[in-house]
Amino acid sequence: MAGFRRIALFVITNLAVVILLGIVASLLGVDRFLTQNGLNLGALLAFAAIFGFGGAFISLLISKRMALWTTGAKIIESPTTEQEAWLVRTVETQARQADIGMPDVAIYDSPEPNAFATGARRNSALVAVSTGLLERMNTREVEAVLAHEVSHVANGDMVTMTLLQGVLNTFVIALSRVVGLIAGRAMGGGDDEDAAPSPIAYMVTSIIAQIVLGALASLIVMAFSRHREFRADAGAAGLVGADAMIAALQRLGGEDEAESEGLPEPVAAFGIRPHRGGWLALFASHPPLEDRIAALRGA
């Protein structure tokens, strides 16, 4: 139930940070040092790990702020309505049951029923719900959605995703440099292994390879995300009951997509109602709703 925002923002921000760090490294001469030394394996892996994990952890640290900024979510500092007070009380109760610190609770304006959780630490997270979710779901269903998000926080999903992304970044950065070196040498000295690689060809090719390999790595992240959704559903069932979680998923499945504002095409696969057909399912951060309901029913 975290929606496309929790995962898509993390993946996109992480990819942008890693690419930016790669460009900075090139401008500072780090890549030049590596190529002059024949891309020494130890130095390459150390460089890739530092920048790879650095990009992932920077994305994690700014995830909460980025989510608030991009969605326009407003944290409930002091409830002004009974609905806001109920949201804060409900999350507080569930956080206590899940043995985590009280998350910030926020509401963002969107007609699409959705919710997300994010944050670098289990005891300092953010749980946000859309106005559309509050309008279209009853109290029991909203409670189940909140329990799902609290379970994401309790399971430490964002930290786990960060570690996975860091490992993938390391391989992406290292392999992209190898590809860049091969292309640079091909354009700089042909078959002469002692010839210096073309710096422009190396830089351009390594950046392109990093983008392509990063996109492929995101498929692994999304597959892992789909696995974590089942666990968060199970956690929510433990907090509010399987029937309530099933009811919430059924309500989502019954929403008329024609009435929803939808998501931009580049990120539509990350929505709470993922594409069901073809290869786009590989880019979905959530499994089909019917599969999640079947899992809750023990099928």
CA–CA dist 150, 125 (Å, integer): 9
Start-to-end CA span in the chain (Å)? 20
Using CB atoms within 10 A of its CB, is residue 266 exposed (0-12), middle (13-18) or buried (19+)?
exposed
Q: State residue 264 phi and psi, 5-degree precision.
A: -55, 145
Alpha-carbon dihedral 125, 63, 87, 225, rounded to 10 degrees: -90
CA–CA dist 147, 91 (Å, integer): 8
Pairing of strands 115-121, 124-130: antiparallel
Strand arrangement, sheet containing 74-75: 74-75, 104-108, 124-130, 115-121
Q: Could you tell me if 88 and 76 are in contact, meaning their C-beta atoms sit under 8 angstroms apart?
A: yes
- Which residue in the list 112, 141, 149, 229 is annotated as catalytic? 149
Alpha helices in 155-241 (DSSP H): 157-188, 199-240
Closest CA to 2 of 91, 116, 170, 106: 116
* Beta bridge pairs of residue 124: 121
Task: List strand residue ranges (DSSP E) for the chain, in order.
Answer: 74-75, 104-108, 115-121, 124-130
CA–CA dist 144, 242 (Å, integer): 9
CA–CA dist 49, 262 (Å, integer): 37
The answer to whether 84 is a known catalytic residue is no
Q: Which two tokens stand for residue 55?
A: 């990009």
Catalytically active residues, by annotation: 149
